[in-house]
Structures are given as structure tokens and as C-alpha cells.
Amino acid sequence: MKIKEFINEFEKIIPARQAEDFDNVGLLCGNPDREISGVLISHDALEAVVDEAIEKNLNFIFCFHPIIFSGLKSITGKNYVERAVLKALENKIAIYAIHTAFDNDYFGVNYKICEVLGLKNQQILIPKQNQLKKLEVYVPVDSAENLKNALFEAGAGNIGFYDECSFSINGNGTFRPLEGSNPVTGTQNERENANEVLLSVIFEDYKKHQILFAMKQNHPYEEVAYQLISLENENQYTGLGRFGDLETEMDETDFLKFVKEKFNLNIIRHNSLTQKKIKRVGVLGGSGASGIKSAISAKCDAYLTGDVKYHDFFSAEDKMLICDIGHFESEQFVTQQLFEILSEKFTTFAIAKTTIKTNPVNYFI
């Protein structure tokens, strides 16, 4: 299988285009037409990970964090980013990063954290905004089913755990073909009445081009009458962070001990204890201080994330326990998650997890 074929199949499961705008996901380096000899999954594509891929004859590194995040003006090996990329290129190893596309995925990073904590009634903490669009298209009655199926095949009508969702209204349309037209039905310069269906489907914005292409390819009219409508609805199945409820509420101290055990932590940084019970818990893997206000709005009693700064702890204002468990620690399950996804999807070449510890933070206990 070629790299580009692998990416195409994988992104049917987790689309790279659901990543945050600031991010740099997808194929970062490598020839997309090269055949894959094997995949090495890692948290970070460091030089040591590239060395491991060379040793194991695996020419595709599938990582969580993008090793190239901001622009590179040269690749000469003068820093850890350039050394990793240069060695990968010299040894014909491709690097692909998933990062916030997996953070935003319903079954991604934060789903696993909630699963480890045993949270019930889970919801997305920060749902994606301005992501949904509605297509309304007018089509002759006898062509409506074929067009509907084509739109479903292109990815329209998927809403959470449902697909093939649509709405139709029958009506009467009119048109008059003018000089130069080539109508499927009707006569030039004469008004035509047609029994038509107004077909409506909802889809994520990043699917727009493929859906419009499918619509035009499968519509019988020379000129297709349609409109795209941007929806203000939140996408409740895509977004950063999650929150849910513990089976049984806990004292704050017991909750901190529980988290420390579940995540195998040496330390937890937290704000002042308020002696409140912990029932609803919010989580956001990685650098998640930006989710503190959302967690308070969701009435979370505790919030787990990483990279919380000094002043961020004040923002809880005694309404919520903020727990900084560490950036890597909050994402520690990612490699195993990706290994399980890729191993199930791709069975014709080797898929391995790195043995390299890439967490740059160490603790002196």
C-alpha cells in the first residue's frame, strides 16, 4: 500500500481536516507515492524515533505531535526538529501527525481519559463552532433517490451515531430554457412545470467540495438549483475536551489519590482545596488551560489537564478543583489508542509502537 492510499483510508476514520486551524497535521515529510514497509507509532517523531524506524525497517512514522509545527526556512540539522526531519528524509522515512484532529475526535484523546476515570454521561466540553452546513437542492422526483444516495456516499447526512439523515419536501418547480441551453426536459423559450423534491442534508464544512461534486455529477439538470446554508448549531460530536460524572462522588483528597493511581503519576499540581465533593469531571488532554471557563460553565467539580500556568489556577475562583497532571501524562494513552485503530484497519504490513520515551519532562522525587 502506498502512503497516500494509507492516508486516504485512515482519514475516513479520523479526518485530518477536523484539526484546529493553528495546527500542522497530515503528511509532514516523505513521498506519498512510496510503498509502506511498516508503520512505527510514536508520541513525538524525535531523532531517536527515526533511528528506531531505520533499525526496524519501518518507513512510515505515525505520530501524535507534529515535529514540524512552525515554518522551516532551512533543514541543516541545527536543532532537534531539523535533525529528525533531515534523518527521516535521508532514509526515505515519511512522517505523519494527527494531533488536534485526534483531540477533536469523539473517540479520541479525551474519550480515553474519561474511560480511564470511569465517567458516565459524557459530553464534548468545547464543541466545534461554525462547522456545520446544510445543502438544499431541488431535483426531479424520479431522480431524488439516486441523488440522495450519492450525497450519502460523499459523506452528507452523518449526525453523531446516525447516518443517511435527510429531509424532503415535494413541490412544483418552473423554469424556461433559453437559447443556448440543453435541457433534459422542456422546450426552449417555453415555461416548463416539473414535479420536484427539495432535498436537505447536513454535513461538516470540510466535506463541502466532495459533496458538491457528487451533487453535480448525479443531478440530471444542466443547471442545478441549490443553496448552502451555514448553521450556528454546535457540532456536539466533535470538539476539544469532555466532561462526565463519576459513578460515586468523592472527597477532593480521595479524588486526587484516585487520579494519581489511575494515571500512575508522581505529582499533581492543583489549586486550593475547597472541601467540596467531586462528581462531575472535565478533561482536556495536553495544554488545556483554555478549557477552564468551559469546565466551570459545565458545572464541573474538577478539571484535569496539563500545562496550567500560575495565574490560570486563580481562574477557578473556588468553583472547581483544577488538576494539572502533566502534558504527556494526560496524553499517555494516545500511542496505544492509535496502535489499536491502525492494527484493526491495516493488516498487510507491520505496525509497531515505539520503545523510545519521548516525554521531555522528568521529576526528581
Residues that constitute the known binding site: 65, 103, 327, 331
Which residues lie below 8 Å from residue 312, measured CB to CB, with a gap of 6+? 289, 292, 322
Name the grid cell of 237: 460530536
Annotated binding site for a divalent metal cation: 65, 103, 327, 331
